[in-house]
């Protein structure tokens, strides 16, 4: 069968909707999440690169949205995906309320190294989480220097081990050094995988035990599955995570997790609870897992969440630029 031609920018924008999703808590420094949703013959796709990303990087997000809406997903190997709770940089008194949005989860990812906060606040947050859940992983988003990471991770593992520490430092050489100085702490790479031209560089350098992989920044489900296969050849396991996606993007992440041959960790795909409203009803989390099901936005929800006209124009122009970038790559 001849592959379906990939759509032009005009075809992509025919029926596209830009939405602004209000958030319950500040995350990545924002309180509203904007994404552009595409509708194609295979379903819905999500184009939502963060505003600070340049067109070359954002084009991978468009490639992922085109795959979802015009090609569909590879076959699934499982129908349910275990997910972790995600705890933003809140005070310990708010931890129980956050965890209540993740019924049955046994693993939590805790944000640390938040600008304006200190290690004492990180320790208090992690201790509060450990009162409720047995497995804790932390995410510093590259916020520490090597010395800060060593000091923080030593303190954070004094009472109990971490499942892993995600992106404690920003650069690959720093991750290598932290891993050398703290051989008992598993290091996970996130930004060093999804924001690098060569996502295997951190692995070849010896800077990661685990790779956090997100569908949109990698260019789609098939590209993620292929990368996971390469990483497995180096002894590195993967965790599929959300890029603060709407319900449409979460469905794509679940499709990726379902397609992987092995899935040893809970995935970071339970982030729908951070939105006050979404384009489709939230997937039902039970026993710490989500079902792998297709998701289509509901028309009344789309209408209620439509972005302002100036933001719609901004996103449409961005899509056109990114489609030109993909054309230059032969897509």
Give catalytic status of residue 109 as yes or no. Answer: no
Alpha helices in 167-308 (DSSP H): 172-181, 191-194, 201-204, 215-218, 221-232, 247-259, 299-305
111 is catalytic: yes
CA distances from 66 to 46, 74, 94, 130, 276 (A): 8, 14, 39, 40, 27
Q: Which residues of 194-208 are buried (b: 16+ CB within 10 A; e: fewer)?
A: beeeebbebbeeebb
Would you list the DSSP string of 141-208? TTB--HHHHHHHHHHHTSSS--S-EE--BSSHHHHHHHHHH-TTS-EEESHHHHTSSSTTHHHHTT--
Q: Please tell me whether 118 is known to bind a ligand.
A: no
Where does 27-171 have alpha helices with state H?
Answer: 55-66, 95-99, 119-130, 146-156
14 annotated as a binding-site residue: no
Helix axes 172-181, 146-156, angle to 10 degrees: 40
Catalytic residue among 33, 39, 111, 318: 111
Say whether 139 counts as a known binding-site residue.
Answer: yes
3-class state of residue 36 by DSSP? strand
Residues 6+ apart with CB under 8 A from 1: none
Q: Which of 137, 214, 223, 318 is catalytic?
A: 214
Q: Which residues are annotated as a binding site?
A: 139, 166, 190
Catalytic residues: 111, 214
Q: Which residues are annotated as a binding site for Mg(2+)?
A: 139, 166, 190
């Amino acid at each position: 069968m001849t592959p379906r031609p990939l759509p032009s920018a005009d075809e992509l924008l025919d029926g596209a909707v830009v939405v602004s999703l209000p958030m319950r808590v500040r995350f990545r420094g924002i309180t509203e999440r904007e994404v552009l949703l595409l509708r194609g013959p295979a379903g819905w796709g999500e184009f939502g690169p963060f505003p600070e990303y340049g067109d070359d990087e954002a084009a991978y997000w468009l490639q992922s949205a085109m795959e979802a809406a015009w090609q569909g997903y590879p076959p699934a190997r499982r129908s349910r995906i275990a997910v972790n709770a995600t705890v933003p940089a809140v005070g310990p008194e708010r931890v129980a309320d956050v965890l209540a949005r993740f019924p049955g989860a046994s693993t939590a990812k805790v944000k640390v190294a938040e600008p304006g906060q200190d290690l004492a606040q990180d320790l208090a947050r992690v201790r509060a989480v450990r009162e409720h859940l047995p497995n804790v992983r932390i995410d510093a988003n590259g916020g520490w220097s090597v010395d800060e990471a060593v000091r923080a991770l030593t303190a954070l593992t004094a009472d109990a081990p971490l499942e892993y520490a995600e992106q404690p430092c920003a650069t690959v050489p720093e991750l290598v050094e932290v891993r050398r100085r703290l051989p008992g702490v598993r290091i996970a790479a996130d930004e060093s995988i999804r924001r690098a031209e060569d996502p295997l560089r951190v692995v070849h350098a010896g800077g990661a035990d685990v790779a956090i992989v997100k569908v949109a920044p990698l260019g789609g489900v098939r590209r993620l599955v292929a990368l996971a296969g390469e990483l497995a050849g180096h002894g590195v396991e993967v965790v599929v995570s959300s890029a603060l996606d709407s319900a449409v993007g979460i469905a794509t992440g679940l499709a990726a997790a379902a397609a992987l041959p092995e899935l040893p960790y809970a995935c970071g795909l339970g982030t729908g609870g951070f939105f006050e409203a979404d384009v489709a009803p939230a997937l039902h989390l039970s026993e710490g897992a989500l079902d792998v099901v297709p998701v289509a936005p509901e028309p009344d929800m789309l209408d209620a969440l439509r972005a302002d006209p100036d933001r719609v124009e901004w996103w449409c122009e961005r899509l056109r630029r990114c489609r030109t970038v993909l054309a230059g790559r032969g897509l």
